[in-house]
Structure 1
């Protein structure tokens, strides 16, 4: 079956750490588009952090951002958006404040920090965005149009402990996911890259069997499981590779382009 919609993760998949999209990946994306496949990004990043990457591909396409909470094209058309409950956002903020956990939030297209520190600096450098440090009290006031909240920890072990605390406190009122070992990403119930891909396929009139997904991290798992055909990056963990239909090369070796040529263009 022809692949009509390709959804790709960014970091560790289409992008090597801190680097722009490679020329080989750009060429592969444009070749896929020329062959009739819509190439979309599916990322945990905020829209304004994902937009330059989409623009680098030279394609005006809908992009899935905030782990599925917003689908918006490079030209600005909104296909779908799902905001978090405002009271839940305040409760999560208080929960973090009581424990001194670093928290950053995404209200509208604005990025806010509980405090500005090494986590913030590293995040800004990797995402090529800037935010504002406003403290926990002001974070409680900026809860409208909230796409996502993000806690950053010191280590993967701490991450798992804190996620357990959040699950015990908030249960099904939030969804937790990870795009990195030290990230705890909080979004609305039912929101995921997978649900966003299904919505986008429906909008465009495609069957899910006509979709393909490429990824490398735990927050890509629902997307990879939902797509008609799935590919794990060579640098992905074994649990990611175990659920996909195929495994391609490493990100640093343009494994993304390899997958496009092999599974979409049949070359």
Structure 2
């Protein structure tokens, strides 16, 4: 059986992983069924590679990976294909904004994750991939968003309603998935992209089938083609059962 969809691009936190940060046995089982049917399963995450890798290994995946919201595309685990670095001047400006309003922040360099409590603000000598902020003060977060938009050169999303995640302009999961498609020789129309937050939005909008988890942010649900169960209710298993195997069976039956 040849599936209509050839690539399943999965966000991790709030999507593949439940709230306990694990992949349930049911979800593992259905992902293995998809892989055995010839579907490429690609982790597409805001996490750093070292944080995503154990889950790829748990699933036995040797397929491409997208990490740090698309700042890194891996041909296979440990084999980097493309990396997009952030201008250190922009990192310095974002650091200064955080300090001015005492907003919790973090930044991903190639070597480590630096946070408000372990970073002196020195941007030299490091290669930067992503910057992030967290505040539950909606007014402050909105003010910060406007300042970031004025800076230019930034791709601004989030991975929760209370944070902002910043990558170089044009770097996002959708762009990463397009590169993975080229590596695999498939089209975006053959992709199922699944997620729950604004850093998944572009991928969900541009994939052949865009899927929002039941726990997704409102905007993501509105833009998705379908909404499935939550990350605590094996929503990924539902995606595979309903939209990969059912579609495959339908395409065989129509021949």
| TM-score of the superposed pair, with normalisation by structure 1 | 0.86
Question: Which one of 202, 208, 231 corresponds to residue 251 of structure 1?
Answer: 231
Is the 8 Å Cα contact of residues 233 and 248 (structure 1) preserved in structure 2?
yes
Question: Which one of 18, 21, 41 corresponds to residue 19 of structure 1?
Answer: 21
Q: Does 1:97 align with 2:80?
A: no
Deviations 1:163-198 (A, max 9, x none): 122223x1x211111011121111101000011111
Q: State how far apart, in whole Å, the 1-side matches of 2:63 and 2:111 are.
A: 19
Residues 237 and 30 (structure 1 numbering): CA distance in 2 closer, same or farther, change over 3 Å? same
Q: State how far apart, in whole Å, the 2-side matches of 1:150 and 1:104 are.
A: 5
1:152 equivalent in structure 2: 134
1:135 equivalent in structure 2: 120
- SS of residue in 2 equivalent to 1:242: helix
Residues 157 and 254 (structure 1 numbering): CA distance in 2 closer, same or farther, change over 3 Å? farther
1:194 equivalent in structure 2: 174
Question: Which one of 3, 6, 9 corresponds to residue 5 of structure 2?
Answer: 3
The alpha-carbon deviation at position 19 of structure 1 amounts to 2.7
Is the 8 Å Cα contact of residues 195 and 213 (structure 2) preserved in structure 1?
yes
1:162 equivalent in structure 2: 144
Q: State how far apart, in whole Å, the 2-side matches of 1:100 and 1:182 are.
A: 15
Q: State how far apart, in whole Å, the 1-side matches of 2:190 and 2:105 are.
A: 38
Q: State how far apart, in whole Å, the 2-side matches of 1:198 and 1:105 are.
A: 25
1:82 equivalent in structure 2: 84
Q: State how far apart, in whole Å, the 2-side matches of 1:248 and 1:224 are.
A: 13
Unaligned runs of 5+ in 1: 116-132
Unaligned runs of 5+ in 2: 250-255
| TM-score of the superposed pair, with normalisation by structure 2 | 0.90
Residues 239 and 91 (structure 1 numbering): CA distance in 2 closer, same or farther, change over 3 Å? closer
Q: State how far apart, in whole Å, the 2-side matches of 1:254 and 1:56 are.
A: 17
Q: For 1:68-79, list aligned pairs within 5 A.
A: 68-72=70-74, 75-79=77-81
The alpha-carbon deviation at position 157 of structure 1 amounts to 4.0
Q: State how far apart, in whole Å, the 1-side matches of 2:116 and 2:211 are.
A: 37
